[in-house]
Amino acid sequence: MNVASAICFFVGLIFIIVEVFTPGFGFFGISGIILSIIGIVLRATQGGNGNPVIQALLLLLILLIACVIAFVFMAVSSKKGWLSRTPFVMKESAVSTGVSEGTADYSGLLDKTGKTLCALRPSGIVEIDGKKYDVVAENEFIDADTEVKVIKVEGVRVVVTKK
């Protein structure tokens, strides 16, 4: 039975490796896991002349060898670029090419006037040239429907004061 356990284990390991390169989790993955478990259990129960300590050590040794083989395989495949050809690695960027990742430029708002849509305590919304902007009042609370002037722009922070 020692040969059968080794065959089950290594065929299961090969099936798991094949599953890495095929999309989805199907026949090879499930069969590989089942065969590997059967091989480990057969080896642990048949080896060691019935001594439970030796059986446990053999089981741990087999698991350690399987982990080392899997780690070496993954390291070699990532170094040689095998993983980049699998469906697990994205080939394209998630950001489309026409999208700007920068921040809006509000420097054109400097010295423009607008009307508050809500009270600025100290932040709120102002309508300038028909567009709504999040702004901050400089020193005071400003009531709704009040004319304001943009006095400072710091990146996306727009500072206003009463006109």
* pLDDT tens-place string over residues 39-89: 877 776 765 566 777 777 777 777 788 778 778 777 777 777 766 666 656
- Above 80 in pLDDT, residue 151? yes
Which of 133, 135, 110 lies closest to 122 in space, CA to CA?
A: 135
Q: Could you identify the residue written with the tokens 């009531």?
A: 143
DSSP-based three-state secondary structure for 112: coil
What is the pLDDT, as a whole number, of residue 27?
77
What is the pLDDT, as a whole number, of residue 99?
47
Entry pTM: 0.40
Question: Per CATH, the architecture of 107-162 is what?
Answer: Beta Barrel (2.40)
Is residue 122 reached through a cis peptide bond, with omega within 30 degrees of 0 on the bond before it?
yes
DSSP-based three-state secondary structure for 152: strand
The per-residue pLDDT for range 1-16, each reduced to its tens digit, is 577 788 888 898 888 8
